[in-house]
């Protein structure tokens, strides 16, 4: 798996260099999958529009190398610790939603989240015996809902 990660690192490095970005690329294979980190002068540009460029790089990498990864692994692109911070926020949001559902007894529906963000919340609440999570809706209208079992 680390070979795929190295190939993906080289591919993205070539792509961002051709695009004129001044960034350094490094990669590491973890339990989550292939984590590719952007650092340098233009790393902050990767965070525009709530990390939309990072999401785009993840999509490209999955399209090119996705078949070479096990199903439980993903490509994760990060810059300046953005993904780690966002993951912490999502864990806190999941706990808030769980408390809200338990206290009020009504389902809690999140706003717009991308598929990776929905997955993080699903996994965060997967061990809760009294709660269930489900993605509802289609396309851009897809939302994550937490409710009592």
Distance, CA of 137 to CA of 75 (rounded, Å): 25
* CATH classification of the domain holding 18: 3.30.300.20
Residue 131 and residue 112 in one domain: yes
pLDDT above 60: residue 1: no
Q: Which of 22, 49, 80 is the C-terminal boundary of a domain?
A: 80
CB 57 within 8 A of CB 27: no
**Domain limits at 130?**
85-148
Distance, CA of 106 to CA of 100 (rounded, Å): 8
Residue 63 and residue 100 in one domain: no
Strands 131-136, 74-79: pairing kind = unpaired
Write down the mean pLDDT value for the chain. 91
Residue 62 and residue 101 in one domain: no
Q: Which of 80, 101, 127 is the C-terminal boundary of a domain?
A: 80
* CATH classification of the domain holding 107: 3.30.1370.50
Distance, CA of 96 to CA of 123 (rounded, Å): 15
pLDDT digits (tens, 9 = 90+) for 77-93: 999 989 889 899 999 99
Q: Which of 57, 80, 103 is the C-terminal boundary of a domain?
A: 80
Residue 98 and residue 135 in one domain: yes
CB atoms within 10 A of CB 115: 14
The pLDDT-based confidence of 73 (bands split at 50, 70, 90) is confident
pLDDT of residue 48: 84
pLDDT above 80: residue 67: yes
Between 100 and 48, where is the model more confident?
A: 100
Residue 69 and residue 10 in one domain: yes
pLDDT digits (tens, 9 = 90+) for 104-138: 999 999 998 888 889 899 999 999 999 999 999 88
CA distances from 103 to 93, 97, 134 (A): 15, 10, 19
Residue 104 and residue 135 in one domain: yes
Element housing 60 (H / E): helix 48-65
The pLDDT-based confidence of 32 (bands split at 50, 70, 90) is confident
Our count of domains for the chain comes to 2
pLDDT above 80: residue 58: yes
Residue 32 and residue 62 in one domain: yes
pLDDT above 60: residue 24: yes
Residue 12 and residue 75 in one domain: yes
Residue 73 and residue 110 in one domain: no
């Amino acid at each position: 798996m680390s070979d795929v990660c190295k190939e993906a690192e080289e591919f993205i490095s070539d792509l961002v260099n051709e695009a004129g970005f001044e960034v350094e690329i490094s990669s590491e294979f973890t339990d989550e999958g292939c984590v590719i980190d952007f650092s340098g002068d233009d790393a902050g540009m990767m965070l525009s529009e709530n990390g939309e460029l990072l999401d785009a790089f993840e999509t490209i990498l999955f399209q090119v190398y996705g078949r070479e990864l096990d199903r439980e692994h993903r490509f994760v692109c990060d810059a300046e610790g953005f993904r780690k911070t966002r993951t912490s926020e999502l864990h806190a949001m999941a706990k808030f939603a769980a408390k809200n559902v338990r206290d009020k007894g009504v389902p809690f529906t999140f706003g717009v989240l991308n598929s990776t963000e929905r997955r993080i919340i699903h996994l965060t609440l997967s061990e809760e015996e009294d709660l269930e999570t489900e993605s509802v809706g289609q396309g851009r209208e897809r939302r994550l809902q937490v409710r009592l079992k």
